[in-house]
Structure 1
Amino acid sequence: MAMTTGKVKLPDEVVTAVINKAKDTSVIAALSPSTPQVFTDRDYLVFNGRSEADVTAEGQTKSSYEQDTTTVTAKRFKVQTTTRVTSELQWADEDNRFQIISAIQEDQAAAIGRALDYVVLHAINPKSGEALAGYDALSGTAVQVTAGDDDIANVDALASAVNDLYDVNGVALSKTWAARLRKLRVPATGMRYFPEIPLNLQAGTLDGVKAATSGTVNGRLAKTATNVLAFMGDFSLIKWGMVRDVTSTIIPYGDPDQTGVDLSAVNQVAYRTEAVFAYAVLDPKGIAVLKSAATGTAGK
């Protein structure tokens, strides 16, 4: 005998409790301004201005110099995240349903922002934790600095490693290194060396330079440990933007994420958020990366 809707107990009220765990954020979005992108292969013609004034005597032949230019092509990548939820969500009244959907979309938008760091900094797919083919990780092309036991010396070594043609205008900290720096104290007074790093490690500056802290810096989702502690240098060299803005779609049926389970078979609907990015690193030698000598498997 078929079940009638009269025998189904519908929820009178849906109460949503969102657990706000500490979320990683994009350090690139924080330290490098975004620029609009187009859906074509954009080439950046890098002009390395190096002219200097020449003092000439009366009647002396005037000198000149040859100007070099290089070309860097922006790379595109598409990111998406799909969340399955029970179709009973549709039974909730409009206010409660909007609250749940908003929480899902906020979570997905944050994930897409973190993906920018994983691709540019580590050439890693954050969902799988595996390396991406055809992408050059900034952690591999930047100036390499190996961390020692003295973290004050490590800060100085990072700054010294940046090509002197560039200004240091940003530092991206892993939470591991930010925690270590926060604990450093002046032996004579007990005062903190870096009082600008709070208990939550979200430093706005470090030694007068704009800073951002995130687990994306060391790639906490990577299957293989990156050993990265920090990046420092000229973050204006990282050009990025959205080719297609973030869009959200409701998928009522089918198998959108290829799990082998149809949505309708298990009374589910899916919410998908996706975007297309483009980025280019004009000169990776304008940024230095600090790495620990330790090896191992990355932790979540």
Structure 2
Amino acid sequence: MSVFSTKESKILMPREIADGMITRAQTLSTIAQLSGQEPMKFGNVDYITFDDFPRAEFVGEGQDKSPTTGGFGAVTAKPHKAQVTMRFNQEVQWMDEDYQLDILNQLANKGAEALSRALDLGMYHRVQPLTGEVLHAWDNYICATTKTVKLSPKAEADQVFRQAAGLLIEQQTPVDVNGFAVDPRLTWALSNLQTKNADGSPSGVQRYPNLGLGTSISQFMGINAAQGNTVAGTPETKDTGVRGIVGDFKNGIRWGIQRELPLELITTGDPDGQGDLKRKNQIALRLEIVYGWYAFVERFSKIVVPAAGS
């Protein structure tokens, strides 16, 4: 059956393409690179939390047992649906199947890119990717953390990273710092750092030679790292000023894909507000995904550049 056939209103994407989309999503999303997804049913998903860890008690022979201290709580991972709708001229349906499959692959690539970026933009910044507007109704997002370090022009980028990690480690209950999401501009600053001579002057030797020109990064100071401009929120929204997010990406985030990846063929109506498809001799292809996530905001710190004029 032709994937662009008008006889079916909805079809499942070929498995190899769907698998490729998931792989691409994990490649493009810094969250997906640093934090593994988990199986998740559709709808709100509740997780039990320990507000106060229970403590064990040694009990001597014949002694009474005391009540165990500890408190329980719960958090909820909420579903967030993202979609991509693309229009094509109706004549596409008349092309041979090889050409149609090529278009489907292009949609898969671009759709996966958009949907994977949506994961970062929503969970980091609560930003609507299509318009760049802030979704004020969303109250759970990582950059709501109050743990912030400023990257001033005179500061050395690696020391700022240490400070951000220190905000999480140097506290009564230390946080496991195992991930670093970094904007390309901060990677560039790190790659430009030089070792110092005995008199404190720059030696001309790159301090972190493994970073090269800072075009990619997978680890920094023993911490897993992932680079992407979604850390700053650009270009979907104006620059948030965030240059790095440090924290517990393994246990501080619970996220998953709650639904399969369907490809919907729309041949009638006005699915995206651009006019009636029949009148314009067009068809539309829609790709949707439902994420579910919850972020323990206090397990993250962020590196920001000072706002203009501050």
- TM-score band (shorter)? 0.7 to 0.9
Contact conserved, 1:126 with 1:221, CA < 8 A, in 2? no
Q: Name the aligned partner's letter for residue 288 of structure 2.
A: E
Q: Contact 1:143/1:284 (CA < 8 Å) preserved in 2?
A: no
Per the alignment, residue 303 of structure 2 pairs with 290
Range with greater deviation from structure 2 (264-273 or 111-120): 264-273
In 2, are the aligned partners of 1:77 and 1:277 still within 8 Å (CA)? yes
Offset from partner CA, 1:234-291 (integer Å, 9 cap, x none)? 11211001111222112223211112x222222222111001111111x311111111
Task: State how far apart, in whole Å, the 1-side matches of 2:159 and 2:43 are.
Answer: 44
Confirm whether residue 247 of structure 1 aligns to residue 250 of structure 2.
no
For residue 152 of structure 1, give the secondary structure of its aligned residue in structure 2. Answer: helix
Letter matched to residue 108 of structure 1 = G
Cα distance per residue 1:151-193 (max 9 Å; x no partner): 1221111111115421110000011211211221213443322
Could you tell me how far 1:51 is from its partner in structure 2? 5.4
Q: 2:166 aligns with which of 160, 167, 173?
A: 160
- Of 150, 158, 167, the residue aligned with 2:156 is 150
| Separation in structure 2 between the aligned mates of residue 295 and residue 64 of structure 1, nearest angstrom | 55
| 1:231 aligned partner, one-letter code | I
AA paired with 2:299? G
Q: SS at 1:28's partner residue?
A: helix
Q: Structure 1 unaligned runs (5+)?
A: 1-22
CA contact (8 A) 1:84 1:270 kept: yes
> Partner amino acid for 1:151?
A
Counterpart selection for 2:234 from 217, 220, 228? 220
Gaps of 5+ in 2: 1-24, 198-202
Counterpart secondary structure, 2:208: coil
Q: Which residue of 2 aligns with 1:118?
A: 121
Give the aligned residue type for 1:183.
N
State how far apart, in whole Å, the 1-side matches of 2:224 and 2:205 are: 22
Tell me how far apart the structure 1 counterparts of residues 28 and 114 of structure 2 sit (CA, whole Å). Answer: 8
Equivalent AA in structure 1 for residue 163 of structure 2: A
TM-score by length of 1: 0.82
Q: Residue type of the partner of 2:276?
A: D
Pick which of 209-218 and 67-76 moved more.
Answer: 67-76
The whole-number CA distance in structure 1 between the counterparts of 2:181 and 2:206 is 20
Amino acid at match of 1:124: V
Name the structure 1 match of 2:190.
Answer: 181
Describe the SS at the equivalent of 2:106. helix
Quote how far apart the aligned CAs of 1:37 are: 1.4
Aligned twin of 2:17: none
Range that drifts further, 183-192 or 154-163: 183-192
- Report what 2:222 is aligned to: 208
Distance 2:176 2:303 in 1: 17
Equivalent residue for 1:262? 276
Distance of 2:112 and 2:301 partners within structure 1: 29
Q: Call closer, same or farther: CA 1:291–1:91 in 2, change over 3 Å.
A: same
Deviation per CA, 1:9-59, whole angstroms, max 9, x where unpaired? xxxxxxxxxxxxxx9921111111111111232221112564567789999
Is contact 2:145–2:301 with CA below 8 Å preserved after alignment?
no
Question: Is residue 232 of structure 1 aligned with residue 238 of structure 2?
Answer: no
Match of 1:138 in 2: 142
Q: Aligned-pair RMSD on alpha carbons?
A: 2.6
Q: 1:9 is matched with which residue?
A: none
Aligned pairs, number: 272
* Distance (whole Å) between structure 2 residues aligned to residue 230 and residue 111 of structure 1: 21
Instruction: Answer whether contact 1:109 1:246 (CA < 8 A) is retained.
Output: no
| CA distance 1:191–1:54, shift in 2 (3 Å) | farther
Contact persistence 1:48–1:68 (CA under 8 A): yes
Q: Secondary structure at the match of 1:190?
A: strand
CA distance in 2 between partners of 1:269 and 1:211 (Å): 41
